[in-house]
């Protein structure tokens, strides 16, 4: 601007200012909410020369204050949309102040929602995002992790952001993406199915070679999950141990596996193929059958089965459970098989069958065959000895001779003494030895053989038969006795006496023995004896067995009224609370007087009483004191179960609640039970939207009791690796207590539990009209460090409104200290800022209003802030402060200091500047100082605006202003505009120009005065001298103007002015200005350049004789613009003029009029003067 002023002061003028050229007619673009956005445009002029200037804008969200000086200037607009909402529009004008004039560029800026983009375009919704992920999962992850994703998809979605952040902290990227989409209900959780022609029971017949097979796996939807594969048997080998679902083709893949024959021994082996994701598990049962030796194994199994069947029938006969006839039929039917499987003992078996069937011929044959059978000597095999002894025993069965029995007994004993001992020999000895008529001897020897490792049913049968004869032989419940009694139960050989003996000993065992207990159960089921029931219950109680599966025994004991210590306690310990509907009166009476139950059982008992209070109110009353003490104690320990929950709800009321109980109740009040059937989950993490804390609860048997004190919760199930799952894991949640109605009571009693405070704060901030108590709750909530920022801001604003409503100045003053000016909710900035201003917290208010809210802020308060700030920054220009002051000015409420600040630092369009100047002048306390006057006048000159409206300002400044260069420039520009006929001069301004012309001799001033004098008919001597002198001067310099011809006949005018036709043209175009002479038809005869005699002024002088005409037009060489064709002709010449040109011109005129006398006289004079001149000026 200074450069242009200097140029004008020096007389450098521009006739035609180039037009501003903008690359756009309107600036239209979009900015994403919550971000900064920029847009650019280009500015140049129509001549392609340098453009100088600056730009401004009044909109506070837009930063546009460029200074430029170039031929093609790129200007950038920066928009701060940090506090703007999608859908809002910014409309207005950008002001461009240049040396080519001022221009207003309209703008329309639309605030749009954040958008996620990739090379394919915008991603504005989840369906589009899902397509990208399905197409390329890795690219989908990149999009998910991009910062723009949070802005575009989670814009102002606090819950979504919490979910997003928690998943990314704990999981892999792909897993986080999968869980996020499922939790947001944008896709289904991945589930898979296995497909095989044989279903899930696969059987493979092996012939020595491996078997390869495959299972088809199908998923229900796209996504990322790992299907982990493992086996429970080494003969199953899988191709891969993990299948990734995002690598499936059309939702399908194949798991190949091999059954390794070399790892399957002869026979059948079983194993499982297990496929598992974090969400589910599929088990494929596999059986591999190695058929090598199958026939031999089949024969062997049949042989074992036949032997077992034969032994069972033999013992049934011996135990007199079947008759000889029935046994005989069995032997006769299966004789061939029995003989075949007998091996070494075939002869003995044949003889035994003959004896049982009383087949004399076969008996005779048997005796004949074995008559000469020699006794095996010592050293022979045990098998040979057994066969020999068995044959002798069969013979005795037929003969029944006593001496033979004694002899055989002695023989067996003799062999035994020499180391021949076996179950068969021992059994045969019991059948022939007379000593074994005494039960204790029989039991002793049988026990010895059995304790040596025998497990023969022959011996157990003999042992059980001995117990049947004498139950007193049962003196302990060792392995032998237990096995014998168990055998007896299976063979229906037990007696009541045996049952009593076992029951007696069982009750006194020092430890719990499952086999003894099983025997007692069977004995009771068989004989239903009270002693046995007593023994069962006693064993369980003494060994503190409390499993629910034993409840039926205690129930029987209670119903039988057994006199057994702790019977009723164990009845309660083992009770299935889900199934039992009624408790016996005996139980209810018993615990009324003596109650040593654990807390779980007490809770169930008391809850039962509460539930059935309507049926037995007297019982509940009797238990009243017990129950209340129990409730208080458990509440103090913060325990919670379904039964305790029922008791709390029944016993804890507003009337009974104490301060101590209130603290404790606050801890359990918000309990919920979560049940998860996924065995891979170790626990659950709970996140509340209101608090920063994340609480982890471990699962116990798939259950956990969690605290949910607001409805805004996010559950994350945690597996053994610590990975988080939300939305993909199935679970069930039950509310355990419904006592929130007591939350306010707890608080009023002094409870300060963070859960309680947060719960009440959540309720309070959503309340239509806050109560005094709720205000106190919110005050306490602010003291907690666990609140999230958004919740804290909500609370602050709720209290802010409450204090305003109640007129509580002191708390409001303290509260405002806690507001964070950077994060305060946009809609409330104006109100809070106004209060900050009222309390003198200008810095905090300034930070708030710099974000947003000036238009909504109370004008008086805002004016106070601006007044304070401009005082502080009076010596420096702050762009935003200028905007604020200007806003107040437009609103009509700018204070004096704001106006002084604008007076000093405003830069903008000339109209506003002028208005501001006038306003300052009207405010005595502000005034229009010399600085603003100089800047205003300078801008008028800089932009080339009309000077006429500013002449009064200029005249005033001219008298006392220090910047004389500005004075000179302003006057010079005015004079120039008058010279080139763009503006008329007012009388005051002409006086100033005339003065400058007379004394400074400035060319433009002189020209302006000459042009002004041209209309006058008479001149004072000084004026005439001035005119003639300057006309001569300009004519001699070639600076002639058309208006100078107006002086002809008034003063002495130079020949060049008087006798030429002056064609004058104004132009600011670069390049030559051409005068094109044409004929009457318009055809160009010749072209002559016009002469520039002053800035923007071009002339061409022609000498024409009287009556002579020339047709011509003017054309700008560079622009091509041209005038219409004009006719140039000479006007009447002044009389008495001298010179050859005038003589010739007069002769032509006399001849044309027919005055031949005058014509002759003029011709003779012309020839004489011409002859004299020729002789006078001839060069020697």
Parallel/antiparallel/unpaired status of strands 281-290 and 201-206: parallel
C-alpha span between 254 and 693 (Å, rounded): 44
Regarding whether 129 and 96 lie in a shared domain, the answer is no
Q: Per-residue DSSP letters for 284-319?
A: EEEEEEE-TTHHHHHHHHHHHHHHHHHHHHHHHHHT
Task: Assess if residue 1011 is contained within a domain.
Answer: no
Regarding whether 173 and 197 lie in a shared domain, the answer is no
The 10s digit of each residue's pLDDT in 222-268 is 888 999 999 999 999 999 999 999 889 999 999 999 999 999 988 88
The 10s digit of each residue's pLDDT in 941-957 is 999 999 999 999 999 99
C-alpha span between 87 and 92 (Å, rounded): 16
Nearest to 910 by CA among 256, 95, 188: 95
Task: Assess if residue 988 is contained within a domain.
Answer: no
Tokens of 894: 């700018």
| Mean pLDDT, residues 444-457 taken together | 91
Going by C-beta distance under 8 Å and a sequence separation of 6 or more, which residues neighbour residue 788? 158, 689, 690, 691, 692
The 10s digit of each residue's pLDDT in 135-160 is 898 999 999 999 889 888 988 888 99
Task: Assess if residue 1175 is contained within a domain.
Answer: yes
Please report the pLDDT score of residue 290 as a whole number. 87
Strand partners, 1066: 1097
Residue 1171 has pLDDT above 90, yes or no: no
C-alpha span between 53 and 321 (Å, rounded): 126
Nearest to 666 by CA among 646, 636, 629: 636
Give the residue from 59, 92, 112 where a domain finishes.
112
Tokens of 465: 């038969």
Residue 484 has pLDDT above 50, yes or no: yes
Residue 1058 has pLDDT above 90, yes or no: no
Regarding whether 121 and 106 lie in a shared domain, the answer is no
Residue 217 has pLDDT above 80, yes or no: yes
Give the residue from 233, 258, 292 where a domain finishes.
292
Regarding whether 227 and 155 lie in a shared domain, the answer is no
Please report the pLDDT score of residue 151 as a whole number. 85
Residue 695 has pLDDT above 90, yes or no: yes
1137 band by pLDDT with thresholds 50, 70 and 90: very low
Residue 1154 has pLDDT above 80, yes or no: no
Residue 1176 has pLDDT above 70, yes or no: no
3-state secondary structure 638-683: CCCCHHHHHHHHHHCCCCCCCHHHHHHHHHHCCEEEEECCCCCEEE
Q: Are 926 and 900 in contact (CB under 8 A)?
A: yes
When the pLDDT of each residue in the chain is averaged and rounded to a whole number, the result is: 90
Task: Assess if residue 228 is contained within a domain.
Answer: yes
Going by C-beta distance under 8 Å and a sequence separation of 6 or more, which residues neighbour residue 510? none
Q: Phi/psi at 45 (nearest 5 deg)?
A: -120, 170
Higher model confidence: residue 648 or residue 1108?
Answer: 648
727 band by pLDDT with thresholds 50, 70 and 90: confident
DSSP H helices in 418-513: 423-432, 439-451, 457-469, 479-490, 496-507
CATH number at residue 27: 2.60.40.10
Q: Phi/psi at 474 (nearest 5 deg)?
A: -85, 100
Task: Assess if residue 718 is contained within a domain.
Answer: no
Regarding whether 120 and 108 lie in a shared domain, the answer is no
510 band by pLDDT with thresholds 50, 70 and 90: confident
Tokens of 1040: 């002639």
Please report the pLDDT score of residue 1142 as a whole number. 59
1180 band by pLDDT with thresholds 50, 70 and 90: very low
Residue 604 has pLDDT above 80, yes or no: yes
| Mean pLDDT, residues 974-999 taken together | 92
| Mean pLDDT, residues 863-884 taken together | 94
Range of the domain at 1171: 1135-1180
1179 band by pLDDT with thresholds 50, 70 and 90: very low
Which uninterrupted H or E stretch holds 80? strand 73-80
Task: Assess if residue 865 is contained within a domain.
Answer: no
Q: Phi/psi at 192 (nearest 5 deg)?
A: -130, 155
Please report the pLDDT score of residue 507 as a whole number. 85
Task: Assess if residue 778 is contained within a domain.
Answer: no
C-alpha span between 191 and 800 (Å, rounded): 51
Going by C-beta distance under 8 Å and a sequence separation of 6 or more, which residues neighbour residue 497? 471
Q: Is the dihedral of CA 358, 360, 362, 368 positive or negative?
A: positive
Regarding whether 258 and 196 lie in a shared domain, the answer is yes
For residue 876, count other CB atoms closer than 10 A to its CB: 8
| Mean pLDDT, residues 455-464 taken together | 92
Please report the pLDDT score of residue 1145 as a whole number. 67
Contacts 24+ apart (CB under 8 A), 803-806: none
Q: Are 109 and 29 in contact (CB under 8 A)?
A: yes
Please report the pLDDT score of residue 1131 as a whole number. 63
1178 band by pLDDT with thresholds 50, 70 and 90: very low
Give the residue from 239, 272, 292 where a domain finishes.
292
Please count the structural domains in the chain.
Answer: 4
Nearest to 445 by CA among 463, 431, 458, 432: 463
Regarding whether 278 and 214 lie in a shared domain, the answer is yes
Regarding whether 133 and 54 lie in a shared domain, the answer is no
User: What's the whole-model pTM score?
Assistant: 0.76
Counting every residue, how long is the chain? Answer: 1180
Going by C-beta distance under 8 Å and a sequence separation of 6 or more, which residues neighbour residue 1144? 1105, 1166
The 10s digit of each residue's pLDDT in 163-213 is 999 999 999 999 999 999 999 999 999 999 999 999 999 999 888 889 999
Q: Is the dihedral of CA 39, 44, 50, 54 positive or negative?
A: negative
Regarding whether 257 and 210 lie in a shared domain, the answer is yes
Residue 1075 has pLDDT above 80, yes or no: yes
> Roughly how many angstroms between the first and final C-alpha of the chain, as a whole number?
62
Regarding whether 178 and 204 lie in a shared domain, the answer is no
Q: Which of 21-30, 55-64, 670-679, 1103-1112 has the lowest mean pLDDT?
A: 1103-1112
Regarding whether 106 and 81 lie in a shared domain, the answer is yes
Nearest to 367 by CA among 404, 340, 409: 404
Regarding whether 80 and 124 lie in a shared domain, the answer is no
Task: Assess if residue 513 is contained within a domain.
Answer: no
| Mean pLDDT, residues 988-1005 taken together | 90
Distance of CA 20 to the CA centre of its chain: 49
């Amino acid at each position: 601007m200074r450069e242009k002023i200097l140029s004008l002061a020096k007389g450098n003028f521009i006739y035609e200012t180039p037009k501003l050229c903008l690359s756009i007619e309107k600036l239209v673009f979009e900015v994403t909410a919550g971000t900064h956005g920029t847009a650019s445009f280009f500015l140049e002029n129509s001549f392609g020369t340098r453009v100088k200037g600056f730009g401004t804008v009044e909109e506070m969200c837009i930063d546009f204050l460029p200074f430029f000086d170039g031929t093609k200037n790129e200007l950038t607009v920066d928009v701060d949309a940090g506090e703007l909402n999608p859908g809002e529009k910014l409309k207005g004008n950008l002001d461009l102040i240049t040396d080519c004039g001022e221009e207003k560029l309209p703008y329309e800026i639309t605030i749009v929602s954040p958008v996620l983009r990739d090379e394919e375009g915008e991603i504005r919704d989840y369906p589009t995002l899902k397509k990208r992920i399905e197409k390329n999962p890795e690219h989908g992850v990149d999009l998910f992790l991009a910062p723009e994703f949070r802005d575009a998809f989670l814009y102002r979605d606090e819950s979504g952001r919490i979910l997003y952040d928690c998943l990314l902290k704990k999981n892999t990227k792909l897993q986080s993406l999968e869980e996020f989409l499922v939790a947001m209900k944008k896709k289904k959780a991945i589930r898979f199915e296995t497909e095989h022609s044989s279903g899930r029971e696969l059987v493979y017949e092996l012939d020595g070679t491996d078997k390869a097979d495959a299972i088809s796996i199908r998923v229900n939807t796209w996504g990322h999950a790992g299907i982990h594969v493992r086996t429970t048997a080494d003969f199953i080998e899988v191709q891969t141990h993990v299948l990734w679902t995002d690598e499936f083709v059309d939702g399908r893949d194949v798991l190949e596996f091999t059954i390794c024959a070399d790892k399957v021994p002869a026979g059948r082996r079983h194993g499982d193929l297990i496929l598992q994701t974090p969400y589910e598990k599929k088990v494929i049962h596999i059986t591999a059958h190695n058929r090598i030796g199958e026939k031999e194994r089949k024969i062997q199994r049949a042989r074992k089965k036949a032997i077992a069947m034969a032994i069972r029938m033999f013992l049934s006969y011996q135990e007199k459970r079947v008759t000889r006839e029935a046994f005989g039929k069995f032997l006769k039917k299966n004789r061939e098989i029995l003989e075949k499987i007998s091996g070494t003992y075939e002869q003995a078996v044949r003889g035994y069958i003959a004896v049982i069937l009383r087949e004399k011929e076969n008996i005779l044959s048997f005796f004949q065959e074995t008559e000469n059978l020699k006794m095996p000597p010592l050293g022979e095999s045990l098998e040979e000895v057994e066969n020999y002894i068995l044959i002798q025993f069969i013979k005795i069965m037929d003969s029944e001779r006593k001496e033979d029995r004694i002899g055989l007994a002695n023989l067996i004993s003799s062999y035994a003494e020499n180391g021949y001992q076996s179950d068969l020999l021992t059994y045969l000895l019991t059948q022939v030895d007379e000593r074994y008529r005494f039960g204790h001897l029989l039991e002793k020897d049988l026990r010895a053989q059995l304790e040596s490792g025998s497990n023969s049913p022959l011996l157990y049968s003999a042992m059980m038969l001995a117990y049947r004869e004498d139950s007193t032989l049962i003196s302990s419940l060792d392995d032998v006795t237990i096995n014998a009694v168990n055998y007896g139960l299976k063979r229906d050989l037990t007696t009541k006496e045996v049952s009593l003996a076992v029951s007696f000993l069982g009750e006194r065992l020092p430890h719990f023995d499952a086999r003894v207990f099983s025997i007692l159960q069977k004995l009771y089921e068989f004989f239903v004896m009270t002693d046995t029931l007593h023994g069962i219950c006693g064993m369980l109680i003494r060994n503190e067995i409390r499993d629910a599966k034993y409840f039926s025994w205690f129930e029987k004991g209670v119903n039988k009224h057994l006199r057994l210590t702790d019977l009723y306690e164990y009845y309660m310990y083992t009770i299935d609370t889900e199934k039992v509907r009624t408790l016996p009166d005996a139980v209810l009476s018993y615990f009324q007087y003596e109650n040593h139950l654990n807390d779980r059982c007490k809770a169930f008992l008391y809850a039962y009483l509460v539930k059935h209070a309507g049926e037995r109110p007297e019982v509940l009353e009797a238990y009243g004191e017990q129950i209340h003490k129990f409730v208080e104690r458990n509440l103090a320990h913060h325990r919670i179960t379904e039964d305790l929950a029922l008791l709390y709800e029944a016993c804890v009321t507003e009337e009974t609640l104490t301060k101590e109980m209130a603290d404790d109740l606050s801890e359990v009040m918000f309990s919920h039970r979560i049940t998860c059937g996924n065995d891979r989950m170790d626990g659950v993490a709970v996140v509340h939207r209101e608090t920063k804390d994340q609480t982890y609860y471990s699962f116990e048997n798939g259950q956990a009791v969690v605290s949910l004190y607001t409805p805004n919760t996010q559950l994350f199930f945690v597996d053994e690796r610590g990975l988080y799952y939300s939305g993909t894991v199935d679970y069930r949640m039950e509310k355990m207590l419904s006592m929130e109605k007591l939350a306010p009571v707890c608080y009023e009693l002094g409870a300060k539990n963070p859960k309680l405070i947060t719960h009440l704060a959540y309720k309070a901030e959503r309340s239509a009209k806050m109560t005094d108590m709720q205000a106190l709750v919110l005050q306490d909530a602010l003291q907690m460090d666990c609140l999230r920022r958004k919740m804290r801001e909500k609370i602050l604003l709720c209290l802010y409104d409450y204090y305003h409503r109640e007129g509580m100045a002191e708390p409001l003053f303290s509260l405002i200290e806690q507001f964070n000016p950077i994060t305060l909710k946009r809609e409330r900035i104006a109100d809070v800022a106004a209060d900050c201003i009222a309390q003198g917290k200008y810095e905090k208010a300034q930070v708030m209003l710099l974000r947003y809210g000036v238009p909504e802020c109370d004008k008086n308060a805002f004016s106070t802030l601006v007044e304070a700030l401009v005082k502080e920054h009076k010596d420096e220009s702050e762009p935003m402060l200028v905007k604020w002051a200007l806003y107040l000015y437009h609103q009509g409420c700018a204070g004096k200091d704001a106006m002084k600040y604008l007076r000093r630092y405003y830069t903008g369009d000339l109209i506003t500047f002028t208005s501001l100047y006038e306003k300052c002048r009207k405010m005595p306390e502000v005034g229009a100082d010399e600085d603003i006057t100089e800047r205003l006048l300078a801008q008028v000159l800089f932009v080339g605006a009309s000077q006429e409206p500013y002449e009064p300002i200029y005249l005033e400044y001219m008298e006392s202003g220090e910047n004389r260069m500005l004075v000179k420039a302003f006057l010079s520009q005015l004079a120039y505009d008058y010279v080139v006929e763009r503006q008329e001069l007012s009388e005051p301004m002409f006086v100033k120009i005339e003065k400058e012309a007379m004394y400074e001799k400035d060319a433009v001033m002189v020209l302006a005065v000459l042009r002004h004098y041209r209309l006058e008919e008479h001149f004072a001597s000084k004026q005439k001298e001035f005119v003639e002198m300057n006309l001569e001067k300009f004519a001699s310099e070639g600076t002639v103007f058309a208006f100078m011809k107006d002086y002809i006949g008034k003063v002495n005018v130079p020949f060049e002015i008087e006798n030429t036709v002056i064609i004058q043209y104004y132009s600011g175009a670069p390049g030559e200005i051409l005068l094109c002479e044409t004929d009457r038809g318009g055809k160009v005869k010749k072209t002559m350049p016009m002469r520039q005699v002053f800035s923007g002024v071009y002339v061409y002088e022609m000498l024409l004789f009287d009556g002579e005409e020339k047709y011509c037009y003017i054309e700008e060489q560079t622009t091509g613009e041209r005038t219409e064709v004009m006719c140039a002709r000479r006007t009447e010449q002044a009389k008495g003029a001298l010179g050859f040109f005038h003589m010739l011109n007069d002769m032509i005129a006399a001849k044309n009029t027919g005055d031949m006398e005058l014509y002759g006289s003029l011709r003779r004079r012309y020839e004489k003067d011409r002859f004299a001149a020729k002789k006078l000026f001839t060069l020697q």
